[in-house]
């Protein structure tokens, strides 16, 4: 009987986009919004203030990649693997044109520098798997992602999320619609105040949305295999009332955030 032990088989790297051409992990921007490793009940949090530089090489390259993916109807879109390390650092948001990726079944965003996802992700009607794993600056998602009815698998670094069960960081306090600048309406918003640079339609009914009728709410829901904090931009109190109940063991929803929102104890407490 042959007693020679079998040769070990190397494990496949599931996330090769995290390794640079020199074989070392790609450096990324650090996030200091809240401690992602220790429970800090008195933490103060807010939205990321950065705005996308639409003239940067990374952004321009990303627009081309999205166009190519929409044209060839590919099933998997791994946009970061085709960007250089510096180009990846340029990209802090995705373009609205991702709504054209209706054939994509797996969207990979491993190790991104993203701070927000546009609501147009809801138009990716065939999306089955969503992988923003180790995108540690991505703390919330648009409510419109719930329109991806085929989405059944996700890989998310949950400790990076507002209200996550491990650490329970608070949610940023949302503002009243009366604070919208009447001169610019909802087309030129300060992301530090509103979480986004522009809002055009209601997250719930998809109808047009104008400044005086903006009702922003947080809600935590099961999306695929994770509970995600979702930002709702509703056009009316009726649309807010139509939101589903929040996920079990999470902050009751919908709510307007801030340190006073009651959350269950953190699992790591």
Domain segments of the chain as ranges: 41-241
By C-alpha distance, which of 205, 204, 155, 209 is closest to 187? 209
pLDDT tens profile 219-255: 999 999 999 999 999 999 999 999 999 999 998 889 9
Lowest mean pLDDT among 18-32, 99-113, 130-144, 180-194: 18-32
- Residue 139 CA to residue 146 CA, distance in Å, equals 17
Is the predicted pLDDT of residue 198 greater than 60, yes or no?
yes
| pLDDT classification of 80: cutoffs 50, 70, 90 | confident
Per-residue pLDDT, 13: 47
Predicted structure pTM score: 0.89
Residue 9: is its pLDDT beyond 60? no
Distance CA 14, CA 24 (A): 15
3-class SS at 179?
Answer: helix
Higher-pLDDT residue of 180, 67: 67
In the chain, pLDDT over 70 holds for what percent of residues?
Answer: 88
List, in order, residues 6 or more apart from 96 with CB less than 8 Å away. Answer: 118, 120
Omega before residue 168 within 30° of 0, cis: no
Average pLDDT, the chain: 89
Our CA dihedral for 133, 139, 143, 149, rounded to 10 degrees, sits at 10
Which one has a higher pLDDT value, 261 or 178? 261
Q: What is the mean pLDDT of residues 187-192?
A: 92
Average pLDDT over residues 136-161: 97
């Amino acid at each position: 009987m042959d007693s020679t032990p079998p040769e070990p088989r190397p494990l496949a790297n599931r996330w090769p986009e995290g390794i640079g051409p020199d074989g070392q992990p790609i450096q990324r921007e650090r996030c200091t919004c809240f401690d992602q490793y220790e429970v800090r009940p008195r933490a103060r949090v807010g939205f990321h203030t950065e705005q996308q530089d639409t003239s940067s090489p990374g952004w321009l390259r990303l627009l081309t990649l999205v166009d190519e993916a929409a044209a060839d109807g590919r099933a998997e879109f791994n946009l970061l693997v085709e960007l250089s390390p510096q180009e990846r650092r340029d990209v802090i948001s995705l373009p609205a044109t991702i709504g054209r990726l209706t054939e994509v079944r797996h969207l990979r965003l491993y190790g991104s520098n993203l701070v927000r996802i546009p609501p147009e992700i809801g138009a990716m009607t065939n999306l089955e798997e969503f992988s923003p794993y180790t995108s540690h600056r991505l703390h919330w998602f648009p409510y419109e992602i719930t329109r991806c009815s085929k989405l059944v698998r996700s890989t998310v670094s949950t400790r990076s999320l507002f209200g996550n069960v491990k650490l329970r960081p608070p949610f940023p306090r949302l503002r009243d619609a009366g604070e919208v600048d009447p001169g610019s309406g909802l087309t030129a918003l300060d992301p530090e105040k509103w979480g986004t640079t522009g809002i055009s339609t209601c997250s719930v009914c998809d109808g047009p949305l104008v400044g005086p009728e903006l009702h922003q709410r947080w809600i935590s829901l099961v999306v695929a295999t994770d509970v995600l904090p979702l930002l709702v931009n509703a056009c009316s109190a009726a649309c807010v009332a139509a939101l589903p109940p929040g996920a079990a063991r999470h902050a009751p929803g919908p709510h307007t955030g801030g340190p006073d929102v009651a959350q269950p104890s953190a699992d790591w407490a």
